[in-house]
Amino acid sequence: MVSLEEQTENTFGPKPIEIPPMGLEAPLPDPYSPKIKELRKQIFTKDLPKALPRVAKGVALSIPAIPSDLVDLAKLANDLNNQYGPDFITKSPVTKIFTKAIDKTQQTVGREQFSKLMKYIGVNDNPSDPAQLIG
| 103 contacts 75 by C-beta, under 8 angstroms | yes
Per-residue confidence (pLDDT) for residue 66, from 0 to 100: 85
Q: What is the pLDDT of residues 74-105, one digit of tens each?
A: 999 888 888 888 888 888 888 889 889 999 99
Query: Which amino acid is residue 50, in one-letter code?
Result: K
Using a cut of 0.75, tell me whether the model's pTM lies above it: no
Note the pLDDT tens digit of each residue in 12-69. Answer: 777 766 777 677 666 777 777 788 888 888 888 888 888 888 888 878 888 888 888 8
Burial level of 77, CB count in 10 A (0-12/13-18/19+)?
exposed
What is residue 1's predicted lDDT score, i.e. its pLDDT? 62
Tell me the residue ranges of DSSP E strands in the chain.
none
